[in-house]
Chain A
Amino acid sequence: MLIYGVALLSACLLIGMAVGETIGLAIGVEANVGGVGIAMLLLVLASNSDKFRTLTEGKAGAGISFWSAMYIPIVIAMAARQNVAAASEGGMLALTAGVAAVAISFALVPILSRIGNKAKRSVE
């Protein structure tokens, strides 16, 4: 049943969000801490486990794959509802801060990826 996969996906998101909210409350932060990430971990665990096979195989799996295929259209809709006008009204300060933060973060990607690889090799 297709809905089994969709229901599993929904359960993962709801549990993840609830855990994320609880972590936020526990450390006194007004934000959901990693709710989506935790939900993704739950889905990875479920799809790698035999116990949940009826919820992830065949038609049920197609229910999850459908939403995964809707990801790009949803992201395009997300882009179309950003407050681009406000971003353009922030002036030079906002522009400089945004551009500089992105440029330096981009530059750090290869450096941190390398650190990760080294650490892994020394462990192995």
Chain B
Amino acid sequence: MGLLETVFVRNNLIVAFAAVGAVMWVSYFVADKLTKGRIHGSAIAIALGLIAAYFGGIVTGGDKGVADLTLLGGIGLMGGGMLRDFAIVSTAFGVQLSELKKAGVAGVVSIFAGVLVSFIVGALVAVIFGYTDPVAITTIGAGAVTYIVGPVTGEAIGASGDVITLSVAAGLIKSILVMIGTPLVAKSIGLNNPQSAMVFGGLMGTTSGVAAGLAATDPKLVPYGAMTATFYTGVGCLLGPSLLFLAVSIIFQ
């Protein structure tokens, strides 16, 4: 433990850089040789990261995936909110203002449409599964918006712990699906220009899902999608416990 402790655990951020670098090297090698470039190397690396996170969570019982393993604790800092947001903002460097203006209106519309649609879908699924209590229906619907909107709404309107957990799970599944699914559907939904990327970010809204999904599709689209996506959770937290809860209460009295 002596050497392990002094070298690897104390320098865990450096271990994370080395580990992610190694995973990327393998992923890009596989993407290049085995799929002949049809699957993006970063898509494979993200999938590997998610699989590792699953096993990390099972082994440690923690909620931070692979970062709960002592040796890989640095992954928590490297992939945490601070450096993620820093790197997302840096992608805006070199973006032309005119490109943003072009999709401005569609971007704003997509944020509200995205929150509404995901909420309605989530709430409908809750009803189909037999929920009749407006608090539970609203919380699960809010979870389908993002895994942050779910618990924020649930706590504001007094939902029970297990309903809040369900809403977080729904939001996590959404985020993971966007990470994996985006590169697969990109062509068929016309996700190949700044405008559609802004609409995409506004509709999906999960910052981590959009960040990873666009990275695996075309890194040039990242700033446009990320820009709208970061407003989505705020709009969701605003509408969830207020207007949307009111609407659900009126329907399910």
- B96 to A48, Cβ gap below 8 A? yes
Q: A119-B106, A120-B102 are in contact. Are A36 and B49 (CB under 8 A)?
A: no
Contact mask A76-96 → B, CB, 8 Å, 1/0?
Answer: 111111111111111111111
What is the interface residue range for chain B against chain A? Answer: 35 or more
- B91 to A68, Cβ gap below 8 A? yes
- B84 to A74, Cβ gap below 8 A? yes
Interface set, chain A 8-39, CB cutoff 8 A to B: 9-10, 12-13, 16-17, 20, 23-24, 27, 29-37, 39
- B140 to A40, Cβ gap below 8 A? no
- Report the bound CA distance from A104 to B56 in whole Å: 31
- A90 to B126, Cβ gap below 8 A? no
Interface set, chain A 28-83, CB cutoff 8 A to B: 29-37, 39-41, 43-45, 47-48, 56, 61, 64-65, 67-68, 70-83
Q: Is B135 an interface residue (CB 8 A)?
A: no
- B66 to A80, Cβ gap below 8 A? yes
- A109 to B93, Cβ gap below 8 A? no
* Chain A neighbourhood of B126, CB < 8 A: 93, 97
- A67 to B86, Cβ gap below 8 A? yes
The A interface is mostly helix, strand or loop, or mixed, namely helix
Give B134 Cβ to nearest chain A Cβ, in Å.
16
Give B160 Cβ to nearest chain A Cβ, in Å.
14
* Chain A neighbourhood of B93, CB < 8 A: 9, 43, 47, 56, 61, 64-65, 68
Interface set, chain B 77-99, CB cutoff 8 A to A: 78-80, 83-97
Contact mask B142-180 → A, CB, 8 Å, 1/0?
Answer: 011100100010001000000001101111111111110
- A106 to B173, Cβ gap below 8 A? no
- Report the bound CA distance from A113 to B114 in whole Å: 13
- B227 to A41, Cβ gap below 8 A? yes
Give B175 Cβ to nearest chain A Cβ, in Å.
7
The residue on A at minimum CB distance from B99 is A44
Q: A72-B42, A76-B42, A100-B125 are in contact. Are A87 and B204 (CB under 8 A)?
A: no
The 9 closest A-B pairs by CB, nearest first: A116-B106, A90-B169, A98-B173, A85-B57, A77-B79, A33-B234, A79-B49, A87-B172, A78-B79
Of the A-B pairs whose beta carbons lie under 8 Å apart in the complex, a sample of 19, sorted by A's number, is A13-B89, A31-B233, A36-B226, A36-B230, A37-B229, A65-B90, A71-B88, A72-B42, A75-B79, A75-B208, A76-B20, A77-B16, A87-B173, A96-B128, A97-B121, A102-B174, A104-B118, A106-B185, A115-B106
